[in-house]
Amino acid sequence: MGKSSIQVTLSDDLHEHVRRQVAKGGPYRDADDYIRALVSRDRQAQSAASAWIGEHFTEAMRADEDVYVSVSAEDVIQRNKKA
């Protein structure tokens, strides 16, 4: 697996947060380790979301048009207010 690098500019608040995460005794060796972990978790979350969508909507997307009911945005808003 190849490696590439990027440069990231952070606000002071975010920089301080990263510094705390990599402080002595923290869960990460250095800022690179922390950023890699964040990106990895983001990829896993996106993969899980994609799998969930596929699992829950594949059947609906294959359904015939006549099973769908037309509703307005206002209908949805009102229904959700009742919930």
Per-residue pLDDT tens over the stretch 26-70: 789 999 999 999 999 999 999 999 999 998 888 888 888 888 888
Residue 49: its pLDDT value, please?
96
pLDDT recorded at residue 58: 86
Q: Residue 83 pLDDT > 80, yes or no?
A: no
Q: Enter the DSSP assignment of 1.
A: -
Evaluate if residue 15 carries a pLDDT over 80: yes
